[in-house]
Structure 1
Amino acid sequence: MKMKLAQRVVIGYYKTKLRTIAMVSPRKAAEQAFRVFCTPYSRGVKQKEPVIFHKATKHSLFFEGLHTKGFQWTPDEPNGQKVLIVHGFSSYSYKFEKYIQPLLKEGFDILAFDAPAHGLSEGKMINALIYMRFLQAVEQKFGPINGFIAHSLGGLATSLLIEQIDQSVNRKLVLIAPATETRSAVAGFYSMFRIKEPVQTEFEQLIMEMTGKPTDHFSIKRVVQSVQLPILWVHDQGDRICPYNDTIPVQSMQLPHIQFRITEGLGHNKIYRDKQVI
């Protein structure tokens, strides 16, 4: 993945800052590192509002002290099913504009919300648990939701949500390049910021204290073994953000409710914009 100059500068700054703090207190360094881990590297909206969004009903949802923004489209001939589009880390709803018209043609009522600290929504931090609680709030206010189309971190958050919500509702899940294992994301973060072992130990302990669960608990592989809803999982072999190798153990389980579609050459972001995937 190529990084912009501004991103390289920020990463360099935090490498130095975390290394300096760690000399005094690995715990303080871990707390700072966790804040960095949960901070989107790009916030706000970087494009004009797509035309299809002009036709949406605009929603506001007050969530944990933050004003968040969402959109809803109602089909001319509804099929009685509601779909929620769930974007990934450092993304926003506008990027999924090409999904709206095909879903409307099929009669789906469509929802899309910008997560906290993303797009048009307020906030400074996001992680899988914050995102899961946010999706739970969307479900409580606008549900029941029958289908989820989720990319990247949104895929992990949605999977965690599925464990929490009413299992009697008929639901389906589409995962596009999901963040399969939090362990991989954390390991990548350690490598990128050159986090030393004492700080890593404190980082892991911090997650345990905050959630009551170890890092490995936040895993789509774990979730899909305990839920039975139909899942379509689309992943590219060259994904360098959410590694394809993390999907191999899930594929080897041959779970009957999961259907895999493997692509080549689309990476992590092109995949959700690809016409064949849509």
Structure 2
Amino acid sequence: MKTMRRIVADVKAAIQNNTELTPLLWQLICHSPQMPLWLPQKELLAKAETGSLKVFDQYFTQRELNFNYFIWGEGRRKIMLTHGWASKAADFIELINALLTMDDVQVIAFDAPGNGKSEGALSNLLLYVEAVKALLKHIGTPEVMIAHSLGAMANVIALNDLKVAPRQLISITPLIRVKENFKATMNSVGVPEEAQEAFFEDFRKRFDDHFSHFRLTTLYNFKGLPHFLAYDEEDHIAPFEYLQEFLSAHPDVKSKAYNGAGHDRILKNEEVIADVLSLLE
């Protein structure tokens, strides 16, 4: 978090001094703050079979980055977890412990590049996608894929790219619009509109517009696939109006509100965890 506080201070100083903002905005948008592990999380990871895979960072370092994965259990039913932005595998601790009470399961999670202890100073959606694809190729298509926040979009894009699908998807407070989330981040520190537009123009040039306008509503095309979506109507990170757009376009997706659960705290919500277990049992 110290790095993010420094970046925010640098952005605010640049705004006040009317100096070039775009390089700082890249850091603001693509630095994923990393919180230290607490003891129960360390103990959970110590019980896992661990390994690492590589993805190519095409847009920042132009080199391969190692990312870490974790496997608990040896059951036949594979359940894969994809974390959200500024998160890590261990943030699923309550859900992982609950899943491991089920019979015949194997739980797989990973730290995306730039998150947890995986390599990378900056991260982005494409690195998440490449990590999901690498892990799917390594473990095979799991029975269930569960994702939080940005991880839900990464799962959908990776499955589209590989042309595979699990038997069931579960999305927890998924991000629906990436660009709007970027704008919210910049608005939160007072970045002027013209500076935001300059950043987006640089973004489009660097990524060849590869995902600057990605919206889950248009990316999602899994008709008939059992999909449960958990959300909070008061979620300011994944606004309810965007979620309504997604659910209207995809009425076969089952959803449930857990109002007051919070965008991140929802992963610890006992009702959410109980409902997930019920779906899988």
Query: Deviation of residue 205 (structure 1)?
Result: 2.0
Segments of structure 2 that go 5 or more residues without pairing to the other structure are: 57-63, 274-281
- Alignment RMSD, CA only? 2.5
**1:241–1:148: structure 2 CA closer, same or farther, 3 Å change rule?**
same
CA distance in 2, matches of 1:53, 1:74: 12
| Kept after mapping to 1: 8 A contact 2:44/2:90 | no
What secondary structure, in the 3-state scheme, does the structure 2 residue paired with 1:125 have?
coil
Residues matched between the structures, number = 263
* Distance in 2, Cα, partners of 1:136 & 1:6: 29
The CA distance in 2 between the partners of 1:163 and 1:6, in whole Å, is 34
* Contact 1:237–1:267 under 8 Å retained in 2: no
Paired residues for 1:1-278 under 5 Å: 10-17=7-14, 20=17, 23=19, 29-40=21-32, 42-43=33-34, 45-48=36-39, 49-64=41-56, 65-75=64-74, 78=75, 80-104=76-100, 105-167=102-164, 169-213=165-209, 217-224=213-220, 226-228=221-223, 229-256=225-252, 258-278=253-273
Q: 1:18·1:32 contact (CA, 8 Å) conserved in 2?
A: no
What TM-score do the two structures reach when normalised by structure 1? 0.84
1-side partners of 2:38 and 2:6: how far apart? 24
1:73-114 alpha-carbon deviations (Å, 9 max, x no partner): 124xx3x33221111111111121222243231422211111
Any conservation in 2 of the 1:236–1:262 contact (CA below 8 Å)? yes
- Contact 2:176–2:246, Cα closer than 8 Å, also in 1: no
TM-score, L = length of structure 2 = 0.83
Contact 1:238/1:267, CA 8 A, preserved across alignment: yes
The residue type paired with residue 37 of structure 1 is I
User: Which stretches in structure 1 are left out of the alignment for 5+ residues?
Assistant: none
Distance 2:35 2:267 in 1: 20
